[in-house]
């Protein structure tokens, strides 16, 4: 397989766990006084009464060495657990778990990469993080009717099965309600919310929101920021907020209340629509395009999550064109879940062809799906999209469906053998002079930017002129424009 397209380096996100150091097999002793605070020692796992705490530390080789990486992992059992994490006066953390206090040291050089994971497993759990704590966190609440309140940092939270209540904070947040009747409320930060299965309530905030109800009869309410709302399957109610609202009714008999002249509505005949005179309404009937394009691997939660994005694209004018093109793939495109923080990739693959190192640019020839001398290359018949569903490009408030669509743009070129060879000179980036001044044409065509390549008739329509980039509907910026998100002007500048 060929070079993947990887977007995670510029994204601040919750990364995967670092490997344990050599002495993590040592167990920390229990405190002598049962009610005294427990002092957690780095790289020495603590376990008592169903509570497990690890502070994994690695790196930190002096001023010129790599910074320390510190990962705090808190796990509880299947009882109804209560967890609260806050700052301590010495710069570390205090974790209060089921009435006991745990003191956790953190390195204070300002360079350390620090993050936290909380796993509460079963039971009706209550997890909260102090507002002023800006540590990136990933929270898996497990089965049960759980409650969660986010702090001030980047947050990923997964409700699991049960009727969960998730309250997001001032940091960028990604939330999945999963199975059950869930309530998810955005905070002041940019929020991406997926209700999943069940009759869910999703409410936007002031920082902008992307909301997907999933299966069930859902209620989506926009906030004062920019709102994108997709009802999903079944009979949903979508209510616009004070900011601009982009509505996708989805399937079912849906109700939309648009309150602004700058709103855009993508709905079908039979939906109940109340809107202002200046708002834009486009009748779009959801289709089954894309049903022949993908083979999704992984957990049921990941399959459901990918299907939610597929449902929106099946209700989107831009998405329908892309999926119709991908249905022509010689073999289904594999979709594989990436760990948190690992972004998104597309791997061109063809049976019987050695694609070399997938992290290197492949040979720009016809055997690897590139146009040469105006002739399309070989179509991919063993391609893969690798996708972290929590991948939010937070500095530009782009939801995960945007980088996913970027990879679909590559897949479109793979299906047709129309990757563009070569590079385009883009000059210095005034905001970041260290960024490359040359960009891959293959990447720029998936973004939707012009390239230095000779024009090509991508749509196979003699009545339209050839172009040196993908059709708008086969680009990241094409979908971004429909969703009203910021558009990428350069590949590396995002």
pLDDT tens track for 127-176: 999 999 999 999 999 999 999 999 999 999 999 999 999 999 999 999 99
Same domain assignment for residues 245 and 345: no
- Is 44 domain-assigned? yes
- Is 453 domain-assigned? yes
List the one residue out of 387, 442, 415, 417 whose CA is nearest residue 327: 415
Cα dihedral 307, 311, 312, 316 sign: positive
Same domain assignment for residues 72 and 148: yes
Specify the pLDDT at position 14: 37
pLDDT band for position 2 (50/70/90)? very low
- Is 490 domain-assigned? no
In Å, how far are 11, 75, 129, 223, 442 from 312, measured between CA atoms? 24, 35, 32, 20, 26
Same domain assignment for residues 268 and 379: no
Tell me how far apart the alpha carbons of residues 181 and 125 are, in angstroms, rounded to a whole number: 16
Same domain assignment for residues 89 and 237: yes
CA angle 474, 478, 483 (to 5 degrees): 130
Least confidently predicted of 65-69, 100-104, 154-158, 166-170? 65-69
Tell me how far apart the alpha carbons of residues 198 and 180 are, in angstroms, rounded to a whole number: 5
Same domain assignment for residues 83 and 173: yes
Cα dihedral 442, 9, 171, 101 sign: positive
Specify the pLDDT at position 7: 40
- Is 494 domain-assigned? no
List the one residue out of 111, 115, 106 whose CA is nearest residue 74: 115
Residue where one domain finishes, among candidates 261, 283, 305: 283
Structure tokens at 278: 């200046």
pTM equals: 0.91
Q: What percent of the chain stands above pLDDT 70?
A: 90
Tell me how far apart the alpha carbons of residues 448 and 460 are, in angstroms, rounded to a whole number: 18
Specify the pLDDT at position 354: 74
Over 90: is that where the pLDDT of 291 sits?
yes
Same domain assignment for residues 307 and 180: no
Same domain assignment for residues 182 and 128: yes
Specify the pLDDT at position 28: 58
- Is 101 domain-assigned? yes
Over 60: is that where the pLDDT of 12 sits?
no
DSSP secondary-structure letter at 305? H
Residue 292 CB neighbour total at 10 angstroms: 13
Specify the pLDDT at position 21: 40
Per-residue buried b or exposed e for 168-188, using 16+ beta carbons within 10 Å of the residue's own CB: bbbbbbbbbbbbbbbbbbbbb
Structure tokens at 493: 């500048």
Least confidently predicted of 20-24, 310-314, 405-409? 20-24
Euclidean distance between the first and final Cα of the chain, in Å?
Answer: 25
Same domain assignment for residues 213 and 182: yes
List the one residue out of 3, 8, 46, 73 whose CA is nearest residue 340: 8
Specify the pLDDT at position 281: 98
Range of the domain at 394: 294-483
Average pLDDT for the chain: 91
Tens digits of residue pLDDT in 174-220: 999 999 999 999 999 999 999 999 999 999 999 999 999 999 999 99
- Is 493 domain-assigned? no
- Is 2 domain-assigned? no
Least confidently predicted of 17-21, 47-51, 92-96, 300-304? 17-21
Same domain assignment for residues 164 and 271: yes
pLDDT band for position 355 (50/70/90)? low
Same domain assignment for residues 221 and 309: no
Please state the three-class secondary structure of 352-382 as a single string.
CCCCCCCCCCCCCCHHHCECECCECCCCCCC
Structure tokens at 330: 């010689």
Q: Report the helix count and the strand count for the chain, using DSSP H and E.
A: 5, 32
Same domain assignment for residues 304 and 264: no
Element of type H or E holding 317:
helix 317-326
Number of domains in the chain: 2
Specify the pLDDT at position 23: 41
pLDDT band for position 62 (50/70/90)? low
Residue where one domain finishes, among candidates 283, 303, 320: 283
Is pLDDT larger for residue 12 or for residue 446?
446
- Is 289 domain-assigned? no
Same domain assignment for residues 185 and 305: no
Over 80: is that where the pLDDT of 29 sits?
no
Residue where one domain finishes, among candidates 283, 313, 330: 283
With beta carbons less than 8 A apart as the criterion, state whether 331 and 350 touch: no
List the one residue out of 445, 420, 412, 439 whose CA is nearest residue 364: 420
Strand partners, 282: 266
């Amino acid at each position: 397989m060929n070079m993947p397209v990887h977007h995670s380096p510029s994204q601040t996100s919750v990364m995967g766990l670092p490997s344990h150091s050599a002495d993590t097999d040592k167990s920390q002793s229990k405190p002598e006084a049962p009610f005294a605070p427990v002092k957690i020692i780095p790289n020495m796992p603590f376990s008592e009464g169903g509570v497990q705490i690890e502070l994994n530390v690695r790196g930190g080789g002096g001023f010129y060495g790599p910074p320390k990486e510190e990962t705090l992992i808190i796990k509880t059992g299947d009882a109804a657990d209560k967890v609260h994490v806050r700052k301590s006066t010495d710069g570390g953390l205090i974790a209060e778990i089921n009435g006991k206090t745990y003191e956790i040291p953190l390195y204070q050089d300002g360079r350390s990469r620090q993050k936290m994971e909380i796993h509460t497993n079963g039971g009706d759990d209550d997890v909260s993080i102090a507002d002023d704590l800006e540590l990136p966190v990933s929270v898996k609440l497990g089965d049960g009717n759980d409650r969660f309140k986010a702090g001030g940092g980047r947050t990923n939270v997964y409700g699991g099965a049960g009727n969960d209540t998730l309250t997001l904070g001032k940091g960028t947040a990604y939330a999945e309600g999963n199975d059950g009747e869930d309530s998810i409320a955005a905070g002041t930060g940019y929020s991406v919310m997926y209700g999943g299965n069940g009759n869910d309530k999703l409410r936007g905030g002031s920082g902008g929101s992307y909301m997907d109800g999933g299966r069930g009869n859902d209620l989506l309410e926009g906030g004062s920021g920019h709102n994108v709302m997709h009802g999903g399957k079944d009979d949903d109610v979508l209510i616009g907020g004070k900011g601009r609202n982009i509505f996708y009714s989805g399937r079912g008999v849906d109700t939309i209340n648009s309150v602004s002249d700058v709103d855009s509505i993508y709905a079908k005949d039979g939906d109940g629509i109340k809107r202002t005179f200046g708002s834009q309404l486009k009748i779009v009937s959801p289709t089954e395009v894309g049903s022949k394009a993908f083979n999704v691997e992984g957990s049921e939660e990941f399959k459901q999550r990918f299907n939610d994005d597929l449902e929106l694209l099946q209700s989107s004018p831009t998405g329908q064109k892309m999926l119709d093109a991908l249905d022509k793939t010689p073999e289904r495109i594999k979709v594989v879940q990436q760990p948190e923080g690992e972004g998104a990739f597309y791997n061109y693959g063809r049976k019987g062809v050695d694609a070399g190192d997938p992290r290197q640019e492949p040979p720009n020839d016809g055997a690897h799906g590139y146009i040469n001398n105006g002739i399309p290359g070989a179509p991919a018949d063993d391609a893969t999209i690798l996708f972290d569903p929590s991948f939010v490009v937070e500095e530009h408030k782009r939801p995960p469906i945007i980088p996913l669509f970027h990879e679909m743009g590559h897949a479109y070129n793979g299906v047709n053998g129309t990757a563009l060879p070569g590079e385009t000179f883009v000059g210095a980036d005034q905001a970041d002079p260290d960024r490359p001044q040359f960009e891959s044409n293959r990447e720029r065509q998936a973004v939707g930017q012009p390239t230095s390549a000779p024009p090509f008739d991508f749509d196979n329509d003699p009545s339209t002129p050839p172009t040196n980039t993908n059709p708008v509907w086969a680009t990241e910026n094409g979908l971004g424009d429909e969703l009203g998100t910021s558009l990428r002007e350069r590949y590396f500048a995002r």
